[in-house]
Structure 1
């Protein structure tokens, strides 16, 4: 009984793999080339990295089951990124045909991305304030750096290490405490923008804050406390 059931399941699987295209007898020349589908998936991933010429990208689409037969698309194949997919080393690309016979296939791809990132030039002790001699740019496989990485040396200079790093360790954003661009008690300029209008007000910082951090400040005119984002030394921004 079990053997018969397994045979039925295998036959059902084969019929599902061939899909609706199998309902229409086609010659070998009329089946869509798997190589073309895989290349469309590869080009889709590569197109997402064109703005980063320093990156070296290797895209490895998975092999497609040889039993899967799809009708030759009469229109150019369309590629897309499915919603809620990973942007890491393992991704999925959708390939869609809007032709005489419509079909959609999802192709698994492995993405290997190498680019210059900051690494420790020598052993760096916790609490050290980084200078330009403490790190260097080195190409690494960033698709495997799950803790993140830093590309611009300016984003590390002056930062304090939260942990000890060995020579060659990648500098991750979470391992650095950025220097404050605004210090508690200092006078700041509060920049407000709304509808293309820019307003500047004097204020006082109620806590330290690095670029990009939100802190509380006091408006010197109204004495009202507001929350603002540090955008530069002595400058914070609020949305009016």
Structure 2
């Protein structure tokens, strides 16, 4: 058994490399800050640059000491499903605003479906960086 471990350690591809891991358990939906990251020794590929993770939201629970991968992270969700939102439609000098109910989660720049509460119809709207929704024609 010792010979096998020593042989694996001497293989050129078996070197341990540093990567980013969770400094504490991060529940799904957590926004990552610098204090949430730590450098870990791992042979698994993952994120190595903290700027690639800071400010993003976890898709799943990431347990303390586990390496971070890009597929575990997503842009922060500004809109949540069933949230009452302000819908705005602009065309030239015309501006119409009404309330709507988000039918899915959405991050800045994403297109989501929204139910117009006044007309009871569904429209597609783009999530703006300030959390409002702009109806697309």
Contact preservation (8 Å) 2:115, 2:121:
yes
The number of residue pairs the alignment matches comes to 110
Unaligned runs of 5+ in 1: 1-117, 137-143
In 2 relative to 1, CA 164–151 (structure 1 residues): closer, same or farther, beyond 3 Å?
A: closer
**1:39-188 residue pairs with structure 2 within 5 A?**
119-120=20-21, 122=23, 124=25, 127=28, 129-132=30-33, 133-135=35-37, 151=52, 153-154=54-55, 156=56, 159-162=57-60, 164=62, 167=65, 169-172=67-70, 174-188=71-85
In 2, Cα distance between equivalents of 1:126 and 1:185: 21
Unaligned runs of 5+ in 2: 1-18, 39-44
For 2:103, the equivalent position in structure 1 comes to 207
> Once superposed, what is the RMSD of the aligned Cα atoms?
4.0
Q: What TM-score, normalized to structure 2?
A: 0.52
Contact preservation (8 Å) 2:87, 2:97:
yes
1:189 aligned to 2:90? no
Contact preservation (8 Å) 2:85, 2:102:
no
Contact preservation (8 Å) 1:183, 1:205:
no
Bigger CA radius of gyration: 1
Contact preservation (8 Å) 2:101, 2:116:
no
**1:207-226 residue pairs with structure 2 within 5 A?**
207-211=103-107, 212-226=109-123
In 2 relative to 1, CA 160–189 (structure 1 residues): closer, same or farther, beyond 3 Å?
A: same
Q: What TM-score, normalized to structure 1?
A: 0.34
In 2 relative to 1, CA 171–234 (structure 1 residues): closer, same or farther, beyond 3 Å?
A: same
Contact preservation (8 Å) 1:123, 1:166:
yes
In 1, Cα distance between equivalents of 2:95 and 2:53: 31
